[in-house]
Structure formats: C-alpha cells, structure tokens
Amino acid sequence: MGRRAKNKQGAPPSLDEFQESKQRKEEKKRQRDSKISNSKLQNKKVKIDSSNNKDKKKSKKNKVEEDITDIPDDLPQVDYDELSAARKSLFDNESDDDNEEEKESKLETLDDLDNDDLDNDEFDDDDDDDDDDDDDEIHEKPMFSDDEDFSDEEIEKVNAANMEEYSKQLDLEKEQEELEAEEELIGLNQVQPRAKILPPQGEDDDPASQTKDGAKDLTFIRTRMLEIVKVLENFKELSEEGRSRSEYIDQLIKDICDYFGYNPFLAEKLFNLFSPSEAIEFFEANEIHRPVTIRTNTLLTTRRNLAQALVNRGVNLQPIGPWTKVGLQIFDSQVPIGATPEYLSGQYILQAASSFLPVMALDPQENERILDMAAAPGGKTTYISAMMKNTGCIFANDANKARTKSLIANIHRLNCTNTIVCNYDAREFPKIIGGFDRILLDAPCSGTGVIGKDQSVKTNRSPKDFIDIPHLQKQLLLSAIDSVDHMSTNGGIIVYSTCSVMVEENEAVIDYALRKRPNVKLVESGLTIGKDGFTSFRGKTFDSSVKLSKRYYPHVYNVDGFFVAKFKKFAPSPFDKSKAGAFEKEKMAREEALKEGLISDDFAKFDDEEDKKIMKESIKHSLERKGIDPRTVNIDKKLTNLEEKDEEEKKLK
C-alpha cells in the first residue's frame, strides 16, 4: 500500500460497530486498571524479597570473612570449577536484584501518569489483534473526533429509528454555530458606538478637515463622506443624538462639492437621483474616463476581420459585450487608433458605446425614409446607414452649420451613399418636410451623463439651464412626432435620447409629449440592458408607461450616462395639416410653460416696444392719482428722463 492509501480514512462504522468498539474500549480500560493494581502488589512483594536477599548476602559475606580469618588445618580438597560456577550464579542474582530495583522505581513514577499514557508502556500485554484494533480506531478517530463527547445515555438513545432526526439536529446546531460566528465576526449583534462625524454645532467645518497650510484635507473629507453614508443607511442606530437627517445630508453634499469639485446646486440634484451609497459610486465613476470604443462599419468589413487586422497592428481589444455585434473595446494600442489605415479607409469609427443604444432602439429597416434631427458628428447617422445597407434615404440635419463639416466628412469616409445633409432648425419640421417612417432625436442636453468627458459641466450648470434646455427639448420632440407618418407600414417610430441623467430632461419631457400628443404611446425599446425610467420623482408623478424608457449610468454599465425612450405614432397629430413652424410651436410651448409655472422671470428676452407701452400706461395712472391731466404732460419725454436716470444709477452701481 502507498502512503496515500495508508492515510486514507475508512468508511464510517454502523451503529452496531460503533457500540462494539465502545464496549471494547471500556473492557480494555478495565483490564489495564487491573493489571496496574496487580503490578503494584507484585512490586511490593519484590521489594520485600529483595531486602531479605540483601540481608542474607551481608550475612554470607560476614561468614566468609570469618572463615577466611579462621582457617583450620584439616580442610578438605576444594573443587575450583564448582566454586567459579557458584560465584557466577551469585553475580547473576545480584544483577537481577538491581533490575528489580530499577523496575520498582519505574513503577513508582508511572503511578502518577494518566491511564491514557499507559497504552504503550511495558505493562501492556495485549495480543497483536488488539494492537491492530487500536490502530484502526486511531486511524478512524479524526472522522469521529466528537464521539467521545457522547455519554452512555445519549448513545443508547441513538438507534436506527431516530438516527436521521438526530443527524438533522446536529446539522442545525452546526449551522447555528456558524451563523453566530459570522455575526460575531462582522459585528451585527454588537452595539456600535455613535460616532461624532458632523462638525460641532455652530461651526461651519471641522478644524481637522484642513491641513496645516489651510487647504482642504481630501483624505479626511473622503473618510467623513463614507462615514456619513454608513450613518444614513442605518440612521436610527448610528446617528448622533440631537442631529437630524438633513444635517447629515447637507454635510455630505458639502463634502461632495469639496472633494469632487461640483457646484452645490448640481451636486444636490445629482445626489437626489440615488441612494447615498449609490450616489458616491456615481460621483466616483464620473472621475474615470470611459473605455475607448469603436464601431465596425459593416458596409465595408466585419467585426472579426477588423479585430484581426487591428490585433496584427498591436492593438489590444475585445468585444464590448453580448448586447452589440459591431462594438469593440480598445485597451491599449501600439499605433494611434484614429490614424490607422483601417480608420482612414472607413472600416470603423470612434464612437461611445452608449451612442449605439438609440440606433438599436430605432431599428431602421431597408428602403425606409428616416430623419436624424440632430445628426452631427455623424456616428448615429452612419450606423443607421449601415443597418439599412445603403438603401432608402436618410436626412441628416443639424442646426449648427459648423458642425455639419464633421458630419459630411464621416459620411464620405464611411461610404454612406443614401444620406442627405441639411442645415435647418429642427423645430421647422414638418413645415420643411414630413412623412418620415422613423425619426431619431438625440436632443441637445445639459451633459450630466458625460461629466467624465467634460469636467466643466460640474461648475457651469445653473437652475436656468434646467428650464431652458427642457423647454427646447419639448419643442423638438413635438416636431418629431408631427413629422412621422402614422400610416407607415413598419414605421411610425420616434426615438428620443439624451446624454443626461436629469429627470427634467428625460421623464418630464416624454410625459409632456404624452399629454400633448395623445396619438403616440411609449413602447418597448428592445434593449437588453438598462434600468427602467422613473414613474415618480420627488412628489411628481408621470405616466405609468414611462417605465418603458431606459436609463444608463456610468457606475452600473461602464458607459456614459444616457436615456432612451421609444414612441409609436398610431394616429395623425392635430398640427399635421397646419404644419406649424418653429415660431408657432414655440408660442404654444411658452403658453403651456406659463400655465405650469416652469418659466422664471429671466427666461425670455424683453420686448422693448411692448415694455414702453406698459410703462406709458403706468405713468398715466400715476399722474391721474396725483390729480394731473395726462394730456397736459409730455409722457414720452418723461419716459426718456426715467430711462436716463435708470442708466445713471446702473453706472454708479
């Protein structure tokens, strides 16, 4: 047998074998006890005999000495051989006596040992079979190390009938012990001390949050943020007495502004979108650039061939994920990824992974007429063209003429031959042209989803931006709905997307469109990833179908923050016949905004002529209250004087 086979544990014994081994152990124990008691008695007898023998030896020696001293003359002849044999036997007896004395001393010391230590001593006279049994028991002992803990009564209770229940009970006890050990390890049942995290009341900040030079200690601030998040998740047990939840939140937002560099307004708006712990993850994700991604131009090549060509040039890449068949993620490259022969020949385009999503939701089909309302720089337009296999017709529109240069360059480079580039205010559709099968509206937004690319968003956004931008987005979406042909066989689709995570630019806009255009409905986007849109947010409730929209966060999917919603138009719009232009639509949108109270005082430009009329009427009423006839006063001159006086005051300020 090999070494492994010797150390291998045997099969577990049955109940009968277990009881027999127990009885055999007890029998051996009794035998050892009896042997030890007998050996002690024998040792006492041997000790007495040895003392007697010593006395006899002494007496013999004395007699021999006396005989030697008194030697008679008439001695008989001595046989020397017999004398030497007797002398030899005499010394043998003495050595035996010495051995007996040594044994006696050993026995006296062994009396103090435990019974377990006597298993291998010189008094163990068990036969070879017993030794083999002992070896087997020792070999199997690790498997049943707890057997000796059972009392005789417990062993008698265990039988074939209740063994299964007894085994279950042991398993439950083991699980309970493991659970208690785990709780003790993580400290669930331990009362945590209520740490004082917030600055003392009446002070703006903790002195420890600043370095010796007076600068902010970012390490201390980060630690305090994490501690506040921990308190907010278990506020009842961990909060400091006398401190409210709002105090902790205010301090956390202040620390976020100091640590990440946001202005207080934007930090609070972003914080309100998430739980405290998830908000920290979102802010940290915005400090990291998203991976470099490219999209394969399937008009010229396949993803497999493109990947092989780039790998041969020293590019380390892999597919983005199972949700896209054309995307590749670049880790590092030996050559500039934007200057390879494959790039210049139009086999791929540098494009963010999140920009694939609205085109995938649009799902363009061959031989359709499609409008991209805000097309520059052309990543989505060229993707639509590739999905249509250069069939049908795409209208790529952008209101900024300077941006159309990059749009035209990408269309030419990627060999898109079914695209028309135009430069109109998108709100003029469908007055310019309508009847599209599908429309993609990637609306201009605040950019709160791409802070990783543009860090200036942290400080540039103000409350006015979240009034102006949604106002424009609502007009564009209504124009897109009116420009779609509801009679299209497979179409009638509008996809609305933004690179923002704000509710004002996403759910609020599509909820507005659903209320203003009852001839559209939200449908499933067909995207396999993404979180559902909000149906309510901070007391404001949206249409229940808004949950069909999709949200994307950088800390969840490692893509830019994005929002995608897909509409289906099933009836004509009330403005399809009139084909209202941008001015009419803006007027209607303003009236709606005024009713809902969304426009602040400084939202629109002042109309000087209208203002002068109002001011003249006010001067007339003032003169009449004073008892002066307004017709006797030159009101225009008085108004001019007031304006000059106002300008002088402004200069002085």
Known binding-site residues equal 374-380, 398, 425, 442
Give me Rg for the CA atoms of the chain: 49
The larger pLDDT score, comparing residue 549 to residue 148, is at 549
CA distance 594 to 587: 11
Q: How confident is the model at residue 26 (pLDDT cuts 50, 70, 90)?
A: confident
How confident is the model over 222-265, as pLDDT tens digits? 999 999 999 999 888 888 888 889 999 999 999 999 999 999 99
Within a 10 A sphere around the Cβ of 245, how many other Cβ atoms? 11
Average pLDDT for 544-553: 96
Measured in degrees and rounded to the nearest 5, phi and psi for residue 240 equal -75, 140
CA distance 80 to 580: 153
pLDDT of residue 122: 43
Q: How confident is the model at residue 148 (pLDDT cuts 50, 70, 90)?
A: very low
Average the pLDDT over each of 175-189, 246-260, 342-356 and give the range with the smallest value: 175-189
Residue among 257, 416, 445, 499 flagged as catalytic: 499
Average the pLDDT over each of 442-456, 549-563, 569-583 and give the range with the smallest value: 569-583
Average the pLDDT over each of 12-26, 79-93, 542-556 and give the range with the smallest value: 79-93
CA distance 260 to 470: 26
Tokens of 22: 């127990």
Indicate if the pLDDT at residue 190 is higher than 80: no
Q: How confident is the model at residue 563 (pLDDT cuts 50, 70, 90)?
A: very high
The larger pLDDT score, comparing residue 151 to residue 126, is at 151
CA angle 159, 160, 163 (to 5 degrees): 75
Indicate if the pLDDT at residue 614 is higher than 70: yes
Judge whether 567 and 494 are in contact, CB under 8 Å.
yes
Q: Give the chain's mean pLDDT.
A: 79
pLDDT of residue 379: 95
CA distance 470 to 464: 10
Average pLDDT for 322-351: 95
How confident is the model over 418-458, as pLDDT tens digits? 999 999 999 988 888 888 999 999 999 999 999 999 999 99
Measured in degrees and rounded to the nearest 5, phi and psi for residue 184 equal -65, -35
pLDDT of residue 145: 43
Indicate if the pLDDT at residue 184 is higher than 60: yes
pLDDT of residue 368: 95
pLDDT of residue 527: 94
Average pLDDT for 132-156: 48
Whether 445 is catalytic: no
558: left (phi over 0), alpha (psi -120 to 50) or beta: left
Tokens of 494: 């509008």
pLDDT of residue 210: 75
Indicate if the pLDDT at residue 583 is higher than 80: no
| Bridge partners of residue 295, in order along the sequence | 327, 349
Q: What is the reported pTM? A: 0.63
Which CA distances in Å does 507 have to 333, 537, 550, 631? 40, 9, 10, 55
CA distance 237 to 533: 33
Burial class (CB in 10 A: 0-12, 13-18, 19+), 193: exposed
pLDDT of residue 581: 61
Q: Is the dihedral of CA 504, 509, 510, 511 positive or negative?
A: positive
**DSSP, res 242:** T
CA distance 67 to 84: 18
Judge whether 592 and 516 are in contact, CB under 8 Å.
yes
Nearest to 295 by CA among 324, 270, 331: 324
Strand pairing category for 348-350 and 369-372: unpaired
